[in-house]
Structure 1
Amino acid sequence: MKYFFPFLWIALIVIGCQSGISDAELSGNKVVLKAESLEMRLWWCTPEMVRISIADRSGHYDDLDSIMVVKHEWGAVDFDVSSEGDEWIISSAVIDLHVDKKNLATIIYDKHGKIIFGTSSSSSSASESVIGYKDDVPFLRARLFPGEEFFGFGERMDFLSQRGKKLTLDVGRGLGRPHEIGAYNILKANYCPVPFFMSSRGYGYFFHNAWPSHWNMGSSSDKEWSVKADGGAMDCYFMYGPEFTKLIENYTSITGRSPLLPRFAMGLHVGTYSGGTWGHEDKTSQDYVVDLARKFREQDVPADLLWLDSTWRLFGKVNGKGGTTFEWRQPGFPDPKSMFDKVYEQNFNMAGVHIRPRLDNTDENNLLEQAQELGVTYSEGDYPGDFPNFFDEVAEEWWWQNGLKPLAELGVMFVKTDEGSAFGRQGNELLNKTGPQGEKIPELHNLFPVVYTKAPYEKLSAFNKMRGLTQTREGFAGVQRYPYIFAGDWPSEWQYFAPVLRAGINIGLSGVGAWTHCMGGFEHVADPELYVRWCQFGMFSPVAMLFGMEHPQYKEPWNYGEEALKIFRKFDNLRYSLVPYIYSSYFQMYQSGVPIMRAMVMHWPEDKNTYSIDDQYMFGDNIMVCPVLTKGTSTRIVYFPKGEWYDFWSGEKIEGGQYKLVVTPIEEMPLYVKAGGILPRQPEMEYMGEKAVDPLTLQIFTGETGSFTLYEDDGRSLDYQYGKFSATEISMQDSENNLSITVGESRGDYDVEDYGLVLEVLLDEKPSGVSMADGSTASEIELSAFDKNKGDQLQWAYDDDAGKLFVSGKRNVEKEAVFVIKY
């Protein structure tokens, strides 16, 4: 494991010395406060964020983490320290901390004197500890304010706000049989817990501790919330927004942000059991895989990524289905390289395979035995162990060279890392095995999924000489750096649909934005209506993924009837057309940490109506998505926050600040766009790169003002991390006499070629004319003559029935273009 060692203190300044009261010591951005029996270190990261640590009984601070936290050095922060009576007051430009000199109880104020956060005031004694260690385990007790709500905690499937709830954060899922109360128990689902939350009072709290932690968010008292861990340090980061987007930005500045996926990963991801799911392994065939790739093309269903799930490999002699032999199953896969070549000939951009962390042996390949002899597995007492030690670089390299690299040389470009939770815990398949056990294992159990995902992400990225991509099921704080994560194996039943949606909303509130789920559910043949509704939601998820295990139907849309295929194709094409919008939103996430799939409360935290909304969400800045979660319904209730909104399908304008009952025909999922919203769209295509993005269509939902930043790059390399990309500001401004739409010049180090533009503008009435700010005038033509697939001529047409104006013109990327629509 890599460790970080903080810089040595270079100065100690003692202030506020009083008889019987300990000192405060300053060094750089740090302040150490010594109470009667405790020592607290405050380490300013920014004026609005401070790290608060309590030394253990030996005076030690745990600063060694490099798995959850990636930023350890911070710029200088101006702050003041003073002593007033029984308090120290430590103030930055944004917040003031008042710390009790006896027990280190802390109250944090904003600059208006409002209490943002405070350790518990319900102690029976002024000297009673509210932060520190009890029985050598860390704990904190904090004030719970009237009306305060809590959001985050990772991929929670149970509730949105966790006020009044008890939670345990420990990677895994429910155990026991039947699965309905075990693996499928949404109350026990913990595939990606994250010890971070945001409060409706405008602060965020990251408990920097990977041990299993236990949170009581007001279940026992309406005046206090608390957290304790099974071990480790009392170490946390407090941050003030008050905007939730600012809190996410701060949190991800500590734990890292999601790098960009390849642009083609905005398209459809497809998984297959190669024709033989579990129990039917003898039916697996590389011909099935190639035929499946061809059928997506024949059926005109756009797709870009394809992976082979677990039955591609021969199950081993030691760990069976729960291990990975890295040996191809025979006779089904006599020539896997040829198979991958044929998949790529069908213009799939990336193919991969499923793996599990445990190694295994076969008659031909004793990979586990080799690893054990070389000491690169994690020891399990007297047994040398099954798990490669991904905490060790030497072991990781051995695993790559002897396990994964031979597959990469055949054409494997990414992997699905499954069952990371089995390290130190009962696995999904091997019920009699728990992996390593011991004093530090509970902590490493939660960190293992992160390093397990990191290894193939980085190795394959380097091998492929392009951006990495790994699909993983489990994670913890920091896993967002190795995208992407999926929600797990939930059955194709209506009762699991809403919890999966809730999981996506919650994980976004926890700093993990590249997320997905199995459209239509994972196992069981789906009700066709459920299949359609779940796939509609899937196409408006951060990653669109199609995968199921039921034999022989699986989850391909043509297996669910003509209507399902037609609707699937419609939404798949819609997603592909929206890729410029989606990809730009991914870049926004890379820059700020703000996810693509956003809880309504993230944008409107001041609106208490959003606190309980877990069945609709924002998709990027402008689109509100409202999945239909009830069987047989023809309507659903939608909440419209303040402002004006447009129905994406009909163009109807809707006033915000209200609940509204909307109709939900099966061929549509309710979608709404904020007034002023701009949606850049590309031509429909069967796979990314089939066509040039020409013309680029700007779908504009008029309002007083609106803007969008269009992001463009090469779609594959890491050059964007060094500034080689293009950003174009697109804006609209409405006035009494005209509407102006500005497409700015391309800015950045990435060269973009000129292309056609088509504006599709919602307008209640036909304009009197369209011109450019440079004086040129667009020609009005008949609607029937207007070609929406070309943007080479400056002309316009109006659709009276739809209330839409269409304008076309060539874009010169080196110049600003201003379209003036005259009323």
Structure 2
Amino acid sequence: MKRTVLLFCGLSCVAFVTAQDYQRTDYGIKATVDAVDVEVQFFTPSMVRVVKSPHGESFKKESLSVVALPEKVGFKVGTKDGAIVMGTKELQVSLDTSTGALSYETADGRHLLAEKPAEKPFTPFDDAGDATYNVYQAFKLETDEAIYGLGQLQNGKMSQRGQVKNLVQGNVEDVSPFIQSTKGYGLFWDNYSPTLFTDNASETSFRSEVGDCMDYYFMYGGDADGVVAQVRHLTGEVPMLPLWTYGYWQSKERYKSQGETVGVVRKYRELGVPLDGIIQDWQYWGHNYLWNAMDFQNPQFNNPRKMIDDVHAMNAHMAISIWSSFGPATKPYRELADKGLLYDFRTWPASGTESWPPNMEYPSGVRVYDAYSPEARDIYWKYLNEGIFKLGMDAWWMDSTEPDHLDFKPEDMDTKTYMGSFRKVRNAYPLMSVGGVYDHQRAVSSDKRVFILTRSGFLGQQRYGANVWSGDVGSSWETLRKQVPAGLNFSLCGMPHWNNDIGGFFAGQYNKSWNDGTAPKNPLYQELYVRWLQFGAFTPMMRSHGADTPREIYQFGKKGEPVYDAIEKMIRLRYSLLPYIYSTSWEVTHRQSTFMRALVMDFPRDKKVWNMNDEYMFGKAFLVAPVLEAQYTPEKVVKVDEESGWNRDNAGKADERVHVDFMQQKSAEVYLPAGTAWYDFWTNEKMEGGRTVTRATTLDIIPLYIKAGSIVPLGPDVQYATEKPWDNLTLRVYPGADGSFVLYEDEFDNYNYEKGAYTEIPMAWDDSSRRLTLGARKGEYKGMLQSRKFTVLLPDGRQKAVSYNGKKVSVKF
């Protein structure tokens, strides 16, 4: 239809020009440019969806990630200089009617991003017999603009500029075609097929193998937190996880009997070292032909209900390994196979025998299930529920959710799924498999929050109670260094729960042979493990796990020895921070915040931090600078990936015959971001930001700094997260700026908070008057503390006790 030019608020001055052809819709516009149909839909005043397709072709696109719907936002539309211009109070979008390229500006005219006209956005492609397209779109970025995201990569990069990366799910890389910029915008390329991301001097582009249309979302948040809020609105908000999941977890590959599993928990209780989670890894089901039977057929696990009850009796919780595949002797396999819901490509394990190396004369026959099928997800849950959940299991360790794909052949991608070829939907497999378990558990229980530890993730998975870990990474300093930017970029995609195997999964290079378990006695590994654990204490899940060697604290020595003491010190610090961590979790759920915060999130004006890959904020208060280089031992260059690791190729490469004095003092350089003052967490020394400082370190100390204006609650000394009430918390207040904090509490492990059963205690520090005000308590829940005490502590040692009964009270220093 014809539209005349409009003059309206929110756009720069618009002159009357020749009218262009376009159709206004309830949410945006439709137009055809150069044989390409273009539709622009406003989802919010600051977010638009762009869909392009060959002219006149019909298609149906159902997003797997997106849960939001477009909104009627009161946009204006007109034409200017050969462009169709749309505007809201937040965003201005222009469609060039000669090239079909879109550009984005803020409402006041500041340029954000522009498409680069594409010569061939659609290339015909035969996708396993279905006529479709390769789809491509390029954008033009400014030279000094930094971008983040793409999921979790192992490239060690903070900013993702200047690379070519094929985005496809793998064991140690979890991909999502999402980026966000230092200019305050985000871009989600809504495609699930293998996608080539390119950033060079001429373009920043996405090129996907399969797409009936080109489909992406542009969002303007103003800053990194704003972009995270936008992408969570688009793809799903984050539910609260149980308090206990933020405690310490112990695991290894693998505990071989229920007595061993329960014994680990008992040993921690005897030692008085805090513990909340124990994980049972694979083969509790028996041999590989029974792979993932979701049933305890291994005679070493002859009474699983008692195993779980014994763990619960010691006030701990348990997670168990479940997979995306099934052995041919299992009940789920038979039912799924009868319905054609299993894939034919090879997956882990390759052999049906447990001998090493795998005996391929006895192939396992294990097959991956079709997680895209609602019926298959129902079958999956049926056996999981009957075989394990009803026994009282607390959480799921969903392994191989990428899924494992051995001996890849191009024709494997032709495999038919419920939603088309595997190629078409390949990258969304973890989203569908994890979502299936979450949705089914929520449907049958509201008393126990869903918690899923999983090896792969895709944008939208944050809505499923999932914490993604970085896969079977090798035990090396270089790998440890790469985990920091991997977790930060994953978090910048809007998925806040991330962790990694403390100590690295493959530790065999620190053993004399791959299975003799000597690594905990090897000083080279001891130093690496302690530094990795210190980093892990400041991630959303503190979980020790790996192959080749045990990881329990008592394997590293005994109390009074430097390695043991350093491990225990960091576990206890983690528990003292639980009120801070759990309140931060509420900020994540309720106010779209983020646990692991790249420094650019809080200090965007300090360009020195834009590409900093070795420091970050944990919540809004803590600056964490983990020690990422060996200080006491030679740093061996070890290259291990998940394939060579499982081939046991990593044995005996790091000689332990070195003499080490772990009591020596070392040092590390730390950059303190500009714009604020900082306090050394350990000494309370105050210093100004915008400079690099040298911090003395010992094996049990890493550089930790607190931003001026922070209020940090510290909890009681406990053996498990809920052992003691938070009735006498210490509030550390760090002067130098005004600050605030909200202490959040609820019943800790059910969904009553969704019905309003929780409390918030707002706290505010006025720096000029040196006054801390505890505001009136908001909300209530069953069993809440009616009154309590706080001990307010300043860095100079002054402290005051405050009695609090839910009413506003203040204390002045």
TM-score range, shorter chain: 0.7 to 0.9
Would you say 1:522 and 2:505 are equivalent positions?
yes
Write the distance in 2 (CA, Å) between the matches of 1:426 and 1:696.
52
Conserved 8 A contact 2:252-2:546: yes
Distance (Å, rounded) in 1 between the aligned partners of 2:278 and 2:705: 31
Q: Which residue of 1 aligns with 2:593?
A: 594
* Corresponding position of 1:410: 391
Q: Counterpart amino acid of 2:731?
A: L
**In the alignment, what sits opposite 2:701?**
668
Corresponding position of 2:547: 549
Q: How far apart, CA to CA, are the structure 1 residues paired with 2:60 and 2:2?
A: 23
Alpha-carbon distance, 1:678 to partner: 0.5
Cα drift, residue 578 of structure 1: 0.9
For residue 805 of structure 2, what is the aligned residue in structure 1? 812
Structure 1 stretch displaced more, 613-622 or 300-309:
300-309
Aligned to 2:322: 355
**Are the structure 2 counterparts of residues 432 and 546 from structure 1 closer, same or farther at C-alpha, using a change threshold of 3 Å?**
farther
Please say if residues 708 and 729 of structure 1, whose CA atoms lie closer than 8 Å, have aligned partners that are also in contact.
yes
1:522 is paired with a residue whose SS is: coil
Structure of greater relative contact order (alpha carbons < 8 Å, 6+ residues apart): 2
Task: Give TM-score, length-normalised by structure 1.
Answer: 0.83
The correspondence for 1:651, drawn from 676, 679, 684, is 684
Residues 238-317 of structure 1: matches in 2 within 5 Å? 238-273=218-253, 275=255, 284-317=256-289
Distance 1:805 1:73 in 2: 54
Amino acid at match of 2:772: I
- TM-score between both structures, scaled by the size of structure 2: 0.84
Distance in 2, Cα, partners of 1:301 & 1:361: 42
CA contact (8 A) 1:130 1:140 kept: no
Q: Secondary structure at the match of 1:421?
A: coil
**1:109 partnered with 2:105:** yes
Residue in 1 that maps onto 2:578: 579
Structure 1 residue 625 displacement after superposition: 0.6
**What secondary structure does 2:793 align onto?**
strand
Determine if contact 2:727/2:788 at 8 Å carries over to the other structure. yes
In 1: Cα distance, 2:449 partner to 2:313 partner? 21
**How far off is 1:711 after superposition?**
1.2
Aligned to 1:476: 458
Shift of 1:399: 2.1
Q: Indicate the SS of the match to 1:541.
A: coil
Provide the aligned C-alpha RMSD in A. 2.6
Distance 1:345 1:714 in 2: 19
Deviation track 1:103-131 (CA, whole Å, cap 9, x = no partner) reads 211222223433211122xxxxxxx6368
Deviations 1:574-596 (A, max 9, x none): 11111111011111111243320
Quickly say closer, same or farther: Cα 1:549–1:433, change in 2 above 3 A.
farther
Task: Find the counterpart in structure 2 of residue 369 from structure 1.
Answer: 334
Partner of 2:622: 623
CA distance in 2, matches of 1:805, 1:554: 44
Q: CA deviation at 1:207?
A: 0.6
Q: Provide the C-alpha distance between the structure 1 equivalents of 2:410 and 2:40, rounded to a whole number of angstroms.
A: 45
540-549 or 457-466: which moved more?
Answer: 457-466
Following superposition, the deviation at residue 378 of structure 1 comes to 5.2
Q: Is the 8 A contact 1:417 1:470 kept in 2?
A: yes
Structure 2 equivalent of residue 228 of structure 1: 207
Deviation at 1:760, TM superposition (A): 3.7
**CA distance, structure 1, for counterparts of residue 413 and residue 179 of structure 2:** 30
SS state of the match for residue 610, structure 2? helix
Aligned: 1:152 with 2:145: no
Residue 650 of structure 2 corresponds to which residue in structure 1?
A: none
Q: Distance in 1 between matches of 2:163 and 2:341?
A: 42
1:336 and 2:304 matched: yes
Aligned to 1:689: 722
Please state how far the C-alpha of 1:388 moved relative to its aligned partner. Answer: 3.0
1:466 to 430, 448, 451: 448
Moved more, 42-51 or 641-650: 42-51
- Aligned-pair identity in percent equals 27
SS for the counterpart of 2:48 is: strand
Alpha-carbon distance, 1:53 to partner: 1.2
- Residue 432 of structure 1 and its aligned partner are, at CA, apart by 13
Task: Tell me the secondary structure at the aligned position of residue 68 of structure 1.
Answer: coil
Cα separation, 1, equivalents of 2:483 and 2:439: 28
Partner of 1:753: 785
Please report how far the alpha carbon of residue 703 of structure 1 lies from its aligned counterpart in structure 2 after TM superposition. Answer: 2.0
- Between the aligned partners of 1:431 and 1:61, the Cα distance in structure 2 is 29
- Which residue number corresponds to residue 138 of structure 2? 141
Q: Is the 8 A contact 1:414 1:457 kept in 2?
A: no
User: Residue 490 of structure 1 aligns to a residue in which SS?
Assistant: coil
Q: Which residue of 2 aligns with 1:791?
A: none
Equivalent-residue separation in structure 1 for 2:443 and 2:729 (angstroms): 33
Tell me the SS of whatever aligns to 1:205: strand
* Structure 1 SS opposite 2:483: helix
AA at the equivalent of 1:707: S
Distance across 2 between alignment mates of 1:432 and 1:83: 47
Residue 740 to residue 426, structure 1, CA distance change in 2 (3 Å): same
Q: Is the 8 A contact 2:760 2:778 kept in 1?
A: yes
Aligned to 2:640: none
| 1:22 and 1:36 in contact (8 A); partners too | no
Preserved contact between residue 258 and residue 514 of structure 1 (Cα < 8 Å): no
In structure 2, the CA distance between the partners of 1:367 and 1:211, relative to structure 1 (3 Å rule), is: closer
* Cα distance change, pair 723–411 in 1 and its aligned pair in 2 (3 A): closer
Pairing 1:49-64 to 2, within 5 Å after superposition: 49-60=47-58, 62-64=60-62
CA–CA distance in 2 between the matches of 1:55 and 1:374? 35
User: What 5-or-longer segments of structure 1 have no aligned partner?
Assistant: 1-11, 121-127, 174-188, 276-283, 764-802
Task: Structure 2 unaligned segments of length 5 or more: list them.
Answer: 7-15, 125-132, 347-364, 508-518, 633-665
In structure 1, the partner of 2:775 is: 744
Alpha-carbon distance between aligned partners in 2 of 1:23 and 1:419, rounded to the nearest angstrom? 50
Verify the 8 A CA contact 1:547 1:555 in the aligned structure 2.
yes
2:630, 2:154 → 1: CA distance? 20
SS in 1 for 2:367: coil
Counterpart pick for 1:447 among 411, 424, 428: 428
The answer to whether the 8 A contact 1:32-1:42 is kept is: yes
d(CA) in 1 for partners of 2:811 and 2:85? 55
> How much has 1:14 moved relative to structure 2?
4.9
Q: How many Å apart are 1:489 and its aligned residue?
A: 1.4
Q: Distance in 1 between matches of 2:441 and 2:104?
A: 45
In structure 2, C-alpha distance between the alignment counterparts of 1:130 and 1:580, rounded to whole Å: 55
Which of 475, 480, 485 in structure 2 is aligned with 1:502? 485
Q: Secondary structure at the match of 1:716?
A: coil
CA distance in 1, matches of 2:725, 2:622: 25
- Are the counterparts in 2 of residues 13 and 26 from structure 1 also a CA contact under 8 Å? no
Letter in 2 for 1:816: K
2-structure distance, mates of 1:684, 1:529: 26
Q: Which moved more, 1:296-305 or 1:746-755?
A: 746-755
Find the residue that maps to 1:137 and give its secondary structure.
strand
Distance 1:26 1:435 in 2: 39
CA–CA distance in structure 2, aligned partners of residues 451 and 592 of structure 1: 26
* Count of residues paired in the alignment: 719
Per-residue displacement from partner, 1:8-60 (whole Å, max 9, x unpaired)?
xxxx8855699998621112112112223122111111221111111334344
The residue number in structure 2 matching 1:70 is 67
Q: CA deviation at 1:648?
A: 0.3
**2:537 is equivalent to residue 539 of structure 1:** yes
Residue 25 of structure 1, aligned match among 23, 29, 37: 23
Provide the residue aligned with 1:386 in structure 2.
367
1:623 Cα deviation after fit? 0.6
Tell which deviates more after alignment, 48-57 or 670-679.
48-57
| Residues in 1 aligned to 2:687 and 2:457: alpha-carbon distance in whole angstroms | 40
2:651 maps to none
State the alpha-carbon separation in 1 of the partners of residues 572 and 459 from structure 2: 34
Give the drift of 1:688.
Answer: 1.9
Aligned counterparts of 1:34 and 1:385: Cα–Cα separation in 2: 49
Determine which of 635, 641, 648 is the counterpart of 2:673.
641
Q: Distance in 1 between matches of 2:789 and 2:2?
A: 63
Give the distance between the partners of 2:35 and 2:410, measured in 1 at CA: 45
Deviation per residue, 1:204-224 (Å, 9 max, x gap): 111111111111111xxx242
